[in-house]
Amino acid sequence: MIHTEVPLRVAALGGRLGVGALDILYNNVGASTVGDSRVTQTAVEEFRRALDLNLFGMLLCCRHAIPRFLQAGGGGVVNTSLAVGLMGVPDLDSYTAAMGGVVASTRLIAVEGARERRGAHIHDHRAGTGDVQAQAGDGSVHEELLGPASPEDVAYAALFLPSDEARVITGVGLPVDSGVTMS
């Protein structure tokens, strides 16, 4: 769990110590606990934990990777979130708020520095919702129109977004959710 800058500062030194260049940052965030519930019932510590893990950790990683991309002349960031950041899932209020923050922050970071980043792509890559659908429990069903997404489906999208083939794409949210957010 990255929620302090110490491991990131060490990782940023890697390029200067001959470990190699940083070309892509893949922030795979997403964790909730049984302590997450409605905003009126969730402990304050749970809100902080969800925001630290799911949002603040992603922001810290971007903070340290983007300057390295600038020095190298390009790079790519892919921030994974779940569709709950767009849909709202009852009884997962902390997690849903954090995922919404990932979506908004990804767009903001992309807009703020599109020209200065000289080719760095910043994306929100929404993986399938799987267990989150089952936890919703509000009677609504969001159908996987094309069947469940596999780990390979998610990986192919994550590889495409920071590639040269996507050089003019930035700040997009790409749902890899088999149509769940549309249903």
Catalytic annotation, residues: 95
Half-sphere exposure of 172 (CA within 13 A, CB side): 15
- H/E stretch holding 175 reads strand 173-176
Taking a C-beta distance cutoff of 8 angstroms, is the pair 59, 4 a contact? no
Euclidean distance between CA atoms 101 and 86, whole angstroms = 10
Instruction: Supply 165's token pair.
Output: 């083939």
Euclidean distance between CA atoms 29 and 14, whole angstroms = 22
Euclidean distance between CA atoms 130 and 155, whole angstroms = 16
Q: Select from 93, 34, 78 the least CA-distant residue to 166.
A: 78
Taking a C-beta distance cutoff of 8 angstroms, is the pair 97, 50 a contact? yes
Single-letter code of the amino acid located at 146: L
Taking a C-beta distance cutoff of 8 angstroms, is the pair 102, 54 a contact? yes
